[in-house]
């Protein structure tokens, strides 16, 4: 049964992406579609490309510099506060970029605390001074850079932790100083990890809608919204979505190529991690400042602004409509997490069964390819997936209406495209990759001998899964569910496009309030999203602490009796 069900599930999951790809090729052959595409190239695509390239270059440089610097300082150096900074540098992950954009706009606006304090101190009035405009392309680059650098920090630090001490010591014996060893030995070995982290940050940059829209920067995501809603042109929206998805595919290929070079470094039991350098006086102060400033600008200041807004809007917390938003968001995120985890469990377990049953090479490749195909959605922007979901579901709704009117004489209305089903489908496509990686990692840690023992005892496949695998997978399933739950709470573009009429979530309410320049009223909804976003940050921090503790034990030469040490892999996409 699984031989054909896995490819079928993968095709259904990737149907929105196939629709977007098909729209591009149809546009090359259809006269009307070619005319639409030519009009887009003549009018807006040049501007979208320029702004997107500036964003990619700017965000890439900021995340690269901050992420690599912080990763090296917190891994290879010891200075006051480093233990706190190791997990604090992950905190910006809890702050969605569009919420950070709202907070900085409020802080740096004319009536905000920064300019108000400046006028109070200097006595200046309006027009007597100039102040940088945060709501600009430069502001968007800075905001997204300070929010997305943890992707580079997280993956690069993991690489530095696992690097062999022998290579570093060899450089030292050849006369290299500590910082020369970093530039000429440690940094080249971590190059694949750095490329992966930067690529993930750039894919998030291309997928962003809330920040660029609020700051007035025209990119492909804002263009898709404007074409779909403002111009009522679904063909043009699909064409823009196909171009954006092509750019994302290029970034994915770059990331995959970087992974092939992962032999630059390896961690093994025989290789000890590098001993940290002890920094003192001004060097320790500089290291602390270099690591603290990203936390300050990426999390602390926006969080304080949200707390201030929320405390100043106590009436919102007692408003039943606000708690209706909370309920809608929690139900939506809970349903999406459950569906996504169940689909991931089905796919991963089917792949495991295929390897255990010794399927033919062709079937094995088909099974593995189906699981990999179903994992593509996370790299695709939410707005692209939303447009790809809307088109086939709207077509199917129209066919159902035609059938119902022809045979039963009544119009059932929109059963799919105008309901929560469309949202859940889009979330499953978007976040299935997170669940697949987490569940597959959990299954890989269960010995295949357990499956064989269960079969010898007469257990069937579903009994092996329920009585052996499921109890051992509880932690992995819970982790996958939490990660998807939080990502759904933060997801904005897909929710904006596909939400049912008169159905709002916390992310949509924060976006609407900010769009009406009621930034303080957006505070409570945004604060709830940030508090939920702290959950995966805590999980990641604990995973990194375990990794560091493991390396410390190896460094001390005191492994626990009977324990086999292997690299600890942090699951994050």
pLDDT in tens, 141-200: 999 999 999 999 988 887 777 765 556 666 666 666 666 667 667 777 778 888 888 888
Confidence (pLDDT) at 46: 87
Confidence (pLDDT) at 457: 77
Question: Per-residue confidence of the chain (573 residues) as pLDDT tens digits?
Answer: 455 778 888 888 888 888 888 776 665 555 666 676 777 778 888 899 999 999 999 999 999 999 999 998 988 888 899 889 988 998 998 899 999 999 999 998 888 888 888 888 888 887 778 888 889 999 999 999 999 999 999 888 877 777 655 566 666 666 666 666 676 677 777 788 888 888 888 988 988 999 999 999 999 888 888 887 777 777 778 888 888 888 888 877 776 776 665 554 444 444 444 567 788 888 899 999 999 999 999 999 999 999 999 988 888 888 888 999 999 999 999 999 999 999 988 888 888 777 766 555 445 677 777 888 888 787 788 888 888 888 888 888 888 888 888 888 888 877 888 789 999 999 999 998 888 888 887 787 777 777 777 778 777 777 777 777 778 788 788 888 888 898 899 888 889 888 888 888 999 999 989 888 888 889 999 999 998 888 888 877 777 666 566 655 555 554 444 444 344 333 333
**291 neighbors 89 (Cβ within 8 angstroms):** yes
| Strand pairing category for 77-78 and 277-278 | parallel
Confidence (pLDDT) at 92: 92
Structure-block tokens of residue 187: 């940094």
**336 neighbors 421 (Cβ within 8 angstroms):** no
**Angle of the 137-162 helix axis to the 97-108 helix axis, nearest 10:** 130
Q: Which residue has the tokens 């350098």?
A: 277
**429 neighbors 16 (Cβ within 8 angstroms):** yes
State CA 411 to chain mean position distance.
Answer: 40
Q: Measured between alpha carbons, how far is 390 from 231 in angstroms, rounded to an integer?
A: 16
Structure-block tokens of residue 276: 């940290």
Q: Measured between alpha carbons, how far is 366 from 457 in angstroms, rounded to an integer?
A: 30
Vertex 375, ends 373 and 378: CA angle to 5°? 130
Structure-block tokens of residue 366: 């088909």
Confidence (pLDDT) at 569: 38
Write the CB contacts of 6 (distance below 8 Å, at least 6 apart in sequence): 346, 347, 350, 351, 366, 367, 370, 371
Q: Measured between alpha carbons, how far is 438 from 468 in angstroms, rounded to an integer?
A: 18
Q: Measured between alpha carbons, how far is 171 from 177 in angstroms, rounded to an integer?
A: 8
Sign, CA torsion 296/302/307/312: positive
Structure-block tokens of residue 511: 């976006």
State CA 206 to chain mean position distance.
Answer: 12
**78 neighbors 548 (Cβ within 8 angstroms):** no
**288 neighbors 80 (Cβ within 8 angstroms):** yes
Confidence (pLDDT) at 354: 72
**426 neighbors 494 (Cβ within 8 angstroms):** yes
Write the CB contacts of 13 (distance below 8 Å, at least 6 apart in sequence): 343, 373, 374, 377, 428, 429, 432
State CA 270 to chain mean position distance.
Answer: 35
Ramachandran sector of residue 273 (left: φ over 0; alpha: ψ -120 to 50; beta: rest): beta
This model's pTM is above 0.75:
yes
The three-state secondary structure class of 128 is: coil
The fold for domain 1-13+315-515 equals MetI-like fold (1.10.3720)
The residues that bridge with 350 in the sheet, in sequence order, are none
- Helices within 163-226 (DSSP H only): 165-173, 178-181, 187-189, 191-207, 210-214, 220-225
**200 neighbors 256 (Cβ within 8 angstroms):** no
Write the CB contacts of 175 (distance below 8 Å, at least 6 apart in sequence): none
The residues that bridge with 278 in the sheet, in sequence order, are 78
Q: Measured between alpha carbons, how far is 211 from 98 in angstroms, rounded to an integer?
A: 4
Confidence (pLDDT) at 439: 84
């Amino acid at each position: 049964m699984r031989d054909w069900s896995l490819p079928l599930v993968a095709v259904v999951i990737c149907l929105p992406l196939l629709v977007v790809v098909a729209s591009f090729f149809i546009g090359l052959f259809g006269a009307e579609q070619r005319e639409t595409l030519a009009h887009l190239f003549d009018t807006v695509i040049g501007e979208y490309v320029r702004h997107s390239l500036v964003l990619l270059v700017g965000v890439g440089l900021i995340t690269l510099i901050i992420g690599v610097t912080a990763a090296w300082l917190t891994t290879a150096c010891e200075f006051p506060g480093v233990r706190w900074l190791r997990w604090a540098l992950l905190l910006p992950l809890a702050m969605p970029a569009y919420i950070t954009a709202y907070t900085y706009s409020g802080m740096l606006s004319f009536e905000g605390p920064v300019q108000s304090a400046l006028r109070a101190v200097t006595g200046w009035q309006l027009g007597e001074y100039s102040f940088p405009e945060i709501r600009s392309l430069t502001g968007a680059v800075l905001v997204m850079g300070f929010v997305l650098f943890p992707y580079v920090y997280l993956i690069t630090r993991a690489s530095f932790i696992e690097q062999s001490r022998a290579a570093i010591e060899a450089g030292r014996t050849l006369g290299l100083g500590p910082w020369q060893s970093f530039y000429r030995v440690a940094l080249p070995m971590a190059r694949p990890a750095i490329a992966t982290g930067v690529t993930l940050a750039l894919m998030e940059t291309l997928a962003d809608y809330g920040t660029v829209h609020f700051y007035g920067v025209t990119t492909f995501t804002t263009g898709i919204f404007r074409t779909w809603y403002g111009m009522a042109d679904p063909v043009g929206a699909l064409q823009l979505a196909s171009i954006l998805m092509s750019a994302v595919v290029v970034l994915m290929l770059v990331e995959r190529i970087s992974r092939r070079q992962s032999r630059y470094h390896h961690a093994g039991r025989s290789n000890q991690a590098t001993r940290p350098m002890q920094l003192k006086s001004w060097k320790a102060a500089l290291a602390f400042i270099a690591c603290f400033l990203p936390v300050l600008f990426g999390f602390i200041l926006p969080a304080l602004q949200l707390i201030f807004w929320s405390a100043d809007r106590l009436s919102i917390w007692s408003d039943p409509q606000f708690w209706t938003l909370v309920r809608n968001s929690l139900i939506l995120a809970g349903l999406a997490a459950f569906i996504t985890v169940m689909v991931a469990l089905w796919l991963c377990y089917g792949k495991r069964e295929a390897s255990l049953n010794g399927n033919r090479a062709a079937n094995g490749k088909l099974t593995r390819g189906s699981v990999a195909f179903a994992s593509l959605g996370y790299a695709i922007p939410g707005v692209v997936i939303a447009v790809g979901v809307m088109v086939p579901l709207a077509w199917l709704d129209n066919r159902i209406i035609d059938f119902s009117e022809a045979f039963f004489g009544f119009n059932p209305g929109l059963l799919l495209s105008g309901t929560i089903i469309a949202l859940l489908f889009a979330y499953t496509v978007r976040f299935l990759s997170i669940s697949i990686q987490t569940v597959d990692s959990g299954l890989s840690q269960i010995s295949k001998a357990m499956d064989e023992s269960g079969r010898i005892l007469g257990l069937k496949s579903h009994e092996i899964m329920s009585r052996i695998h499921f109890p051992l997978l509880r932690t992995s399933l819970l982790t996958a569910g939490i990660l998807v739950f939080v990502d759904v709470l933060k997801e904005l573009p897909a929710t904006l496009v596909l939400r049912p009429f008169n159905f709002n979530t916390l992310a949509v309410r924060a976006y609407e309030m900010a769009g009406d320049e009621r930034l303080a009223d957006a505070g409570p909804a945004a604060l709830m999203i940030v508090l939920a976003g702290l959950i995966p940050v805590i999980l990641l921090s604990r995973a990194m602490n375990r990794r560091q503790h493991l390396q410390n034990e190896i460094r001390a030469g005191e492994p626990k009796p009977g324990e086999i040490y292997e690299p600890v892999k942090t699951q994050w996409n």
